[in-house]
């Protein structure tokens, strides 16, 4: 079942938006009578997703800062060449 959801997500981004994977996995776990410890509580999942989003945002900011620093370094080097030239 989980593989079917992943296949749907990979083949159709619209299908991924329509599919509530959390619900599907919860229902599947319940149908298999898995122990509750197998799946995480929704509040834990929400927290993990929030943390992943924050990490992604920080990584993006770091890349922007690196690009800005490289541009500033290039400008400083150009300015020095003009002054010395």
What's the DSSP call for residue 36? G
Higher pLDDT: 74 or 68? It is 68
- As a whole number of angstroms, the distance between CA 18 and CA 64 comes to 33
Domain locations along the chain: 1-39
Residue 15: pLDDT over 80: no
- As a whole number of angstroms, the distance between CA 66 and CA 68 comes to 5
**Model confidence, pTM:** 0.61
Residue 1: pLDDT over 70: no
Say which range, 5-14, 19-28, 63-72, has the weakest mean pLDDT.
Answer: 5-14
Specify the pLDDT at position 46: 95
- As a whole number of angstroms, the distance between CA 71 and CA 54 comes to 26
pLDDT digits (tens, 9 = 90+) for 32-46: 999 989 999 999 999
With the C-alpha atoms ordered 40, 44, 45, 48, is the resulting torsion angle positive or negative?
Answer: negative
């Amino acid at each position: 079942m989980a593989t079917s959801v992943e296949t749907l997500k990979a083949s159709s981004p619209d299908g991924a938006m329509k599919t509530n994977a959390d619900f599907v996995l919860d229902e599947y776990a319940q149908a298999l009578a898995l122990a509750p410890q197998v799946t995480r509580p929704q509040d834990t999942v929400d927290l993990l997703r929030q943390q992943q989003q924050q990490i992604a945002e920080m990584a993006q900011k770091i890349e922007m800062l690196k690009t800005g620093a490289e541009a500033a370094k290039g400008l400083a080097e150009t300015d020095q060449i003009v002054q010395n030239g």
